[in-house]
Amino acid sequence: MWNLIESFNLRKLHEILPVKNDEWNQLTLKGVRNNEYNVNMTHQKSLDNTRASDFVDSYVMFKTQKLTAPDGLTHYHEEYRESIT
């Protein structure tokens, strides 16, 4: 198990996230219940003013930011946010 964690490539994950927002790359999903439950990608850049309005509606955002440490090494900051009713 530890082998999988050590080999996880954060650079590749950062590069494939589809929405660019300043120094962040992100993926935002919106889940809405109609006759079925549908999940779609949105191009929202923030969840600050977003509220799920109906029962089981949801918004999920995952984003990464590339950082360079004083020693020159590259690191990645990750954030995950959600709004679920």
Range of the domain at 74: 2-84
* Residue 59: closest CA among 25, 31, 24: 31
Residues 17, 25 contacting (CB under 8 angstroms): yes
Number of domains into which the chain is organized: 1
Task: In whole angstroms, give the CA distance from residue 53 to residue 30.
Answer: 12
Q: What is the pLDDT along the chain (85 residues), one digit of tens a residue?
A: 788 778 888 899 999 999 998 999 999 888 877 778 788 887 766 666 666 566 667 888 899 999 999 999 999 999 998 877 6
Residues 31, 38 contacting (CB under 8 angstroms): yes
